[in-house]
Amino acid sequence: MLQFTTAGRKTPPKRDADTRRRDFAEIYQPFAKERAEEQASRCSQCGVPFCQNHCPLGNDIPDWLRLIAEGRLEEAYAASSATNNMPEVCGRICPQDRLCEGACVIEQSTHGTVTIGALEQYITETAWDEGWIKPICPPRERSQSVGIIGAGPGGLAAAEELRREGFQVTVYDRYDRTGGLLIYGIPNFKLEKSVIERRTDYLEKSDVAFERNVDIGADISFAELRARHDAILIATGVYKARSLACPGAGSKGVVAALDYLTASNRKGLGDVVAAFDRGDLNAEGKKVVVLGGGDTAMDCVRSAVRQGARSVTCLYRRDRKNMPGSMREVANAEEEGVVFEWLAAPKAILGDANSVSGVRAIRMELGATDASGRRAPVERAGSEFDAPADLVIEALGFEPEDQPGMFGAPELKVTERGTLKVDGESLETSLPGVYAAGDIVRGASLVVWAIVDGRRAAAAIASRLEKTRRPIAAE
């Protein structure tokens, strides 16, 4: 260990921009064993592990780095999977620069952070390859059942934890595939679909039941679901897209980011997508303008590049330093040819009834700090300019749908933002025995936080069901 003075920071090999622009395959290649051991050995094993404190899951990072460096990979996997249900997913797509790696002590001493995310991915990929990940076989079966609404990372993490305790778990999802935003939101170049399919397959082999194409509130009433199960977890995410409110908003040629990404992901999975084939949701040959500066916007610009767009421009109203998306993804997008117009906001969509021709935008500057703690962008008078476009993608964020209304459950309390109100410890909602996790509680957030919530809600549900256990012969 402590090799950070002799071994420099190395990320896994990245495919060059010209090659990767032409396909949707992941851009990073896995670490080779020797490189992984070398990079893990850079850890300084400091007394106060800031990386662990800044990981939402509290992953025991220094321990598993030491085990990798010593070649004890099976033990490293045991330590890593003890706190994380999807280490290979988090290792790929957590914004590590803002979480664990951003707090790494050797980074603070200018030696370059340990590549924690890539090593976490390496451990779990090795575990899959070596067959160390076996279907769950709980020590005893319990008759009590839990219904989980939503097969995103929050729901899937809870399903795994509850199954380990021997509960009968059914996950319901309105989509035809499981994974939530991991399957239909996040593109392959960040996270291959096979990674998610492998997790689902593992849960199915562990006797978690999945009911796909089932919209709770429409196909099965929420009341009926509550009657079916001893406890319920709502992990439905946030899907109401914010849209523009300016002249020309809603024109043909202006599309919502998630519609665009879902079409692209479905095509990649081999589905027939009429709106893509018609060209409405396909960037090929087009001048594309994406509005927004978060992860969703980054996924849109980079998907458009891969679809063969003529040009791709991202308009964001703050500057690079203040954008919400991961810095790593911005750098990747720039390498792939995306043009960023920082400090620019849309004023109008240009064009006619049948097509758009561009976005009229205005230059912004950063003013006083606003309620979010960031400096608010204000318009610079007389600085309008036009960005040519024949496809405009709105990536302006998401809000919760009307969950109580959709479930016909007005007694399900929500916050001012429309997210579900929960007890801070147990994540129980205002309805007894009904818990909530992930984006529907936090608002649009991160995969790692959905996993944190899924685990916490599962623990609270298990403890509740333990207390209310009925004496049944099968148990």
x/- track of binding to ligand FAD for residues 5-44 (CB under 6 A) = ----------------------------------------
DSSP state at residue 254: E
Query: Pattern of binders to ligand FAD over 258-277, x per CB under 6 A?
Result: ---x----------------
Minimum distance between the CB of residue 356 and ligand SF4, rounded to whole angstroms?
38
The neighbour count for residue 19, using CB atoms within 10 Å, is: 10
CA distance 293 to 323: 6
Residue 289 binding partner per list ligand FAD, ligand SF4, none, with a CB distance cut-off of 5 to 8 Å that depends on partner kind: none
Q: Which of 120, 165, 295, 299 binds ligand SF4 (CB under 6 A)?
A: 120
CB of 37 to ligand FAD, least distance (A): 27
61 near ligand SF4 (CB under 6 A): yes
Give the shortest CB-202-to-ligand FAD separation in angstroms: 17
Q: Which does 351 bind (CB under 5 to 8 A by kind): ligand SF4, ligand FAD, none?
A: none
Measured from the CB atom, is 61 or 462 closer to ligand SF4?
A: 61
Structure tokens at 102: 């951003």
Positive or negative torsion for Cα 336, 340, 346, 350: negative
Q: In the complex, what is the shortest distance from the CB of residue 84 to ligand SF4, in angstroms, rounded to a whole number?
A: 6
* Member of 446, 457, 458, 462 binding ligand FAD (CB under 6 A): 446
Please report, as residue ranges, which positions from 218 to 237 form the binding site for ligand FAD (by CB under 6 A): 235-237
Closest CA to 337 of 55, 95, 87, 17: 17
The Cα-based distances of 400 to 128, 438, 444, 445 in angstroms read: 35, 11, 8, 12
Angle, alpha carbons 106-110-114 (nearest 5°): 40
Q: To 5 degrees, how large is the angle CA 427–CA 429–CA 430?
A: 145
Number of residues that bind ligand SF4 (CB under 6 A): 15
Q: CB atoms < 10 A from the CB of 464, how many?
A: 18
**What does 61 interact with, of ligand SF4, ligand FAD, none (CB < 5 to 8 A by kind)?**
ligand SF4
- Say how far apart CA 125 and CA 235 lie, in whole Å: 27
Q: Does 185 bind ligand SF4 (CB under 6 A)?
A: no
Identified binder of ligand SF4 from the candidate list 67, 69, 103, 116, rule CB under 6 A: 116
Q: Tell me how far apart the alpha carbons of residues 194 and 221 are, in angstroms, rounded to a whole number.
A: 32
CB nearer to ligand FAD: pick between 12 and 180: 180
Q: How far is the CB of 36 from ligand SF4 (least distance, A)?
A: 15
Could you say which of ligand FAD, ligand SF4, none residue 155 binds, taking C-beta under 5 to 8 angstroms by partner kind? ligand FAD
How would you classify the pairing of strands 254-256 and 240-241? unpaired
Q: Binders of ligand SF4 among 71-90, rule CB under 6 A?
A: 84, 90
Alpha-helical regions (H) of 70-177: 73-81, 87-93, 105-108, 116-130, 153-164
* Length of the chain (residues): 475
**Which of ligand FAD, ligand SF4, none does 180 bind, CB closer than 5 to 8 A by kind?**
ligand FAD
99 vs 389 by CB, closer to ligand SF4: 99
Compute, in degrees rounded to 10, the torsion defined by CA atoms 150, 85, 177, 408: 0
Q: Which does residue 173 touch among ligand SF4, ligand FAD, none (CB within 5 to 8 A, set by kind)?
A: ligand FAD
Helices within 97-187 (DSSP H only): 105-108, 116-130, 153-164, 181-184
CB of 221 to ligand FAD, least distance (A): 11
Interacting residue with ligand FAD among 296, 303, 332, 419 (CB under 6 A): 296
How many of the chain's residues bind ligand FAD (CB under 6 A)?
Answer: 37
- Least distance CB 356 / ligand FAD (angstroms): 22
450 interacts with ligand FAD by CB under 6 A? yes
Task: Write the CA distances from 299 to 188, 265, 442, 445, integer angstroms.
Answer: 10, 11, 21, 15
Selected from 150, 166, 248, 253, the binder of ligand FAD by CB under 6 A is 150
* Contact string (CB under 6 A) for ligand FAD, positions 92-111, x = contact: -xx-----------------
CB–CB of 393/290 below 8 Å? yes
Q: What are the structure tokens assigned to 86, written together? A: 């999807």
Please return the burial class of 202, using the count of CB atoms within 10 Å of its CB with bins 0-12, 13-18 and 19+. middle
Work out which of 117, 147, 154, 397 binds ligand FAD, going by CB under 6 A: 154
- The C-alpha torsion from 256 through 257 and 262 to 267, rounded to 10°, is 100
Query: Both tokens of residue 24?
Result: 């949707």
Chain residues binding ligand FAD by CB under 6 A are 93-94, 149-155, 172-175, 180-182, 185-186, 190, 215-217, 235-237, 261, 295-296, 299, 406, 438-439, 445-448, 450
Chain residues binding ligand SF4 by CB under 6 A are 55, 57, 59, 61, 84, 90-91, 94, 96, 99-100, 116-117, 120, 448
